[in-house]
Amino acid sequence: MKMTGSQILCESLIKEGVDVIFGILGGSILPLYDTLTQYPQLRHVLVRHEQAAAHAAASYARVTGKPGVCFATSGPGATNLVTGIADAYLDSTPVIAITGQVARPFIGKDAFQEIDITGITLPITKHNYLVTDAGQVAQTVKEAFYIARTGRPGPVLIDMPKDVQVDMAEFDYSTRLVMPGYKPTTQGHPSQLKKAARVIQDAAKPVILAGHGVIIAEAYDELKEMAENNQIPVITTLLGISAFPGSHFLSYGWLGMHGMACANMAIDACDLVIAVGMRFDDRATGKISGFAPHAKVIHIDIDPAEIGKNVKVDVPIVGDVKAVLKGLNKYIEPKQNPEWLSHLEALRLQHPALHIGDSDSILPQYAIRKIWEATEGRATVITGVGQHQMWTAQYYTFDRPNTLVTSGGLGTMGFELPASVGAAVGRPGEDIWCIAGDGSIQMTIQELATIVQENLPVKIAIMNNGYLGMVRQWQEMFYGKRYMATPLACPDFTKIAEAYCIPAINIKHRQDVEPAIQRAIEHPGSFLLNFVVEPEENVYPMVPPGASLAEVMETPRKEVLKWPRKSTL
């Protein structure tokens, strides 16, 4: 059957299971948007900025496990996608970005809104394509989806000239996919599994360090089996939060610059690190020479480039995390570690990390904790980047798998609002909470319009401290309190929300926090809570730049918040 390039693209997307697209149109992608009218099964979510389309597609991918799809036009439309594509690349998120391009005769002629988007995105995509023939569209889409979701997932870009979108070609999606140069390893090598099992059996003080790869592989049961059968404490990375129940008696929180003090000290004291689906980034390890100084390291990852890149590894295992853990569990004889667990419990009591002061003013930690209590930990939580992100990771306990969506590797401010759009579309009927910073949310605040237009019941909680808080904290600690360019003149967020027809409340006193959260929960649609919090509250614990995890700075507060955890299986 002969179809236009745009029709072939839409048919191919449907064959790949796509049912939603995030985007905004322009001249070079108009033929494709005109074709969308023929495909009501492809829901289009109109965002207000292309960066938001990429973030929404990435968040949709993270909560559904399916590749997210975003559209943009050529030139500035395509370049506006770049931050979102880079964010997806660093957080291993499968996104298919489809951009319009000027017609083929104008490529290389500096035509209006022409840009070499394949050249720009080459370092931040797993692969990208410039489609120069309508007959290539189906095969390109098939390859793009396969590359995006296999191995270590990531974004793929397809650039499609305007005239290719209207050219006619035969549509055939039955062609077998042949990519001889791309063969990800999924099964761990048996000899390495056996070697790892022996090292685990011999360890007296082992720790599992679980990363985002556990969530991507949905290896929750396999991770839990290993931890419970062998009484091994579990620590996560920031992106690994919700890979293991936060209230489980073997959970010791997350590590790193603002992780739990006892988690950092456990890494410092252990004799074995079983790293599962994580990449040993600098925010997690602190000073590399001081990371786990007494420990052997088993590193399980699907990307061989990550193994040994930052931390010396004793037993490398390349493969899919779920498959590797399933195989590894068969070789390990269950055992107990009472002395090691008792030592860690003592560390937890000696170095509590969760503190909330008692005052009439609102501490952001208190507001976030009350959101956790009110939602009973059932919500899917999306954050931006900054202090509010760290406090959310600390004070909201995640027991349900894959319920924290945040920007990790790129650390993209403005991620939270568009990512909430993607999460709400991907998980209809679920509680979606967007916890934002007053600086972060202003970078993409126009997406309030998308939330309203799509009738998405997103609850938005802004931690409004009048600063670019994380940078201000660094200025306070390391730059003599010279607050250059961090004090933030903020608008009245409630009036902005009301302009978009979203009900909103300003909360300035501690006693008003719980009633406000309850009101937001009871409202059937979107709702915005603007918490006016202590302006110079800092995030603790903190590992200073260049320090090891053992040199963690702990909070000066004395009030200790009980860690919600179960004492037994």
Catalytic residue among 2, 38, 112, 498: 112
Q: Is 38 exposed, middle or buried (0-12, 13-18, 19+ CB in 10 A)?
A: exposed
Question: How far apart (Å, rounded) are the C-alpha atoms in residues 463 and 534?
Answer: 9
113 is catalytic: yes
Structure tokens at 499: 């302009």
Q: Please list, in sequence order, all residues whose beta carbon lies within 8 angstroms of the beta carbon of residue 482, skipping any fewer than 6 positions away.
A: 475
Catalytic residue among 66, 126, 142, 162: 162
Burial 184-207 (b: 16+ CB within 10 A, else e): eebebeeebbebbbebbeebebbb
Conformation bin of residue 384: beta by default, left when phi > 0, alpha when psi is -120 to 50: beta
537 is catalytic: no
Q: Is 310 exposed, middle or buried (0-12, 13-18, 19+ CB in 10 A)?
A: middle
2 is catalytic: no
Question: How far apart (Å, rounded) are the C-alpha atoms in residues 249 and 569?
Answer: 7
50 is catalytic: yes
Catalytic residue among 113, 187, 231, 446: 113
Question: How far apart (Å, rounded) are the C-alpha atoms in residues 446 and 46?
Answer: 12
- Give the chain's end-to-end CA distance (angstroms, integer): 59
Catalytic residue among 11, 16, 50, 306: 50
| DSSP assignment string, 332-364 | PPP---HHHHHHHHHHHHHS--------SSBPH
Number of other residues whose CB lies within 10 A of the CB of residue 337: 18
Catalytic residue among 278, 443, 470, 542: 470
562 is catalytic: no
Residue 87 dihedral angles phi and psi, to the nearest 5°: -60, -45
Question: How far apart (Å, rounded) are the C-alpha atoms in residues 386 and 403?
Answer: 19
Catalytic positions, written as ranges: 50, 112-113, 162, 470
